[in-house]
Amino acid sequence: MTDPRSSRTDLSPAPHIVVTDSGLGGLSIFADLVEGLRTRGGPPRIALTYFNACPAADRGYNRMADTAEKIRVFDRALEGMVRLRPDMILIACNTLSVLYHRTPFARRASVSALDIIGFVSSQA
């Protein structure tokens, strides 16, 4: 049955959002998103994936040599996220939000991305 308010049908795939961060802080944002969708309503079906964009447990973005390296590493992580076939990428990290717009991925992205800095600025 088709909901008259939506172009999706009950057989449509659930929208898929990938939430990414370079550390553990994004997990709290992810948990808040899950809880908010559960308690305040949201799409009847939604797929959420948390993607840790930190390249290694002992080597975060703040330990990288320069901005160019950070951009290269995050760009590769974004390419990995796209393989998950999301409808949207939510960047829940200040560092990655700043880097995103400088990545080659951002210039050719076929998936929309919402960064935490842009989101907070739009809510002010």
Strands (E), the chain: 16-21, 47-52, 88-91, 112-115
Question: What pTM value is reported for the model?
Answer: 0.79
pLDDT of residue 5: 43
How many residues are present in the chain? 124
Which of 12-26, 33-47, 75-89 has the weakest average pLDDT? 33-47
Residue type, 45: R
What does the domain layout of the chain look like in residue ranges?
Answer: 48-124
CB within 8 Å of 69: residues ≥ 6 apart: none
pLDDT of residue 9: 53
**Each residue of 64-78: pLDDT tens digit?**
889 999 999 999 999
* Nearest residue to 88 (alpha-carbon basis) of 5, 30, 20: 20
The CA dihedral of 74, 79, 84, 86, to the nearest 10 degrees, is 80
Distances in Å between the Cα of 71 and the Cα atoms of 9, 23, 74, 78, 87 are: 39, 16, 5, 10, 22
